[in-house]
């Protein structure tokens, strides 16, 4: 889980894989990472492993403004790159404070015996993150659920840099879930070409209605 925030994906995925599975959740901002770790612990999820890192194409340190948590805002939109389209949803407490973000390559951080799924929501860092995960993708061939900052999913006609990278280097195809009829989705679902029909079929068989 790249860009785990407070655990919106990491927690249900950890419950899904159970105590014998593993979910590795990366969150670069200190306060958000602390909440993520607390949420995993409070829910008794021993399958949830958290990392206080950003993921990128090369190791580096970046000084970024820390998101605030004491007013209405959306800390999930906090970003490590130099510039994004809009940061209006991110709240900063007072004059704000900075923190040093440790950026690592996924290939250097984890050596896993198995990897089935990668979820990526890293606020315009997805291309660089995938560059730093090439060995991992090549070894395990996971399904990749990625929020692509270059993609307008409603009108997209041409492949983005992320789609071309996955296609050219890994022989992946990507499903535009919005154009497939799942209009509430905000991400692409990518898989090895030999599995793309299977993955598409499973997605379309799911019941996406909210239940209580």
> Beta strand 54-55 with 98-104: parallel, antiparallel or unpaired?
parallel
Helix 30-42 vs helix 10-17: crossing angle, to nearest 10? 30
Q: What is the mean pLDDT of each run of 10 residues along the chain (212 residues)?
A: 95 96 96 96 97 97 84 69 66 78 97 96 92 97 91 73 95 83 77 91 77 56
Overall pTM > 0.85: yes
Helix (H) or strand (E) holding 108: helix 106-109
Nearest to 145 by CA among 13, 52, 6: 13
Q: What is the model's pLDDT at position 202? A: 86
Q: What is the model's pLDDT at position 180? A: 67
């Amino acid at each position: 889980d790249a860009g785990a925030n407070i655990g919106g994906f990491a927690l249900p995925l950890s419950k899904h894989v159970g105590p014998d599975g593993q979910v590795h959740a990366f969150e670069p901002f200190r306060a958000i990472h602390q909440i993520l770790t607390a949420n995993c612990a409070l829910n008794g999820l021993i399958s949830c492993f958290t990392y206080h890192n950003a993921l990128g194409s090369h190791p580096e340190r970046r000084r970024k403004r820390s998101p605030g948590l004491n007013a209405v805002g959306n800390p999930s939109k906090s970003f490590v790159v130099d510039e994004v389209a809009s940061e209006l949803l991110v709240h900063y407490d007072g004059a704000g404070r900075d923190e040093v973000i440790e950026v690592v390559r996924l290939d250097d951080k984890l050596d896993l015996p198995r990897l089935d799924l990668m979820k990526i929501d890293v606020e315009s860092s997805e291309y660089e993150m995938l560059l730093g995960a090439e060995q991992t993708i090549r070894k395990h061939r996971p399904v990749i659920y990625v929020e692509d900052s270059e993609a307008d999913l409603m009108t997209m006609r041409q492949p983005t840099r992320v789609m071309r990278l996955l296609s050219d280097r890994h022989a992946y195809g990507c499903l535009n879930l919005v154009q497939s009829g799942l209009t509430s989705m905000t991400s692409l679902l990518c898989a090895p070409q030999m599995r793309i029909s299977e993955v598409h079929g499973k997605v379309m068989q799911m019941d996406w209605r909210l239940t209580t």
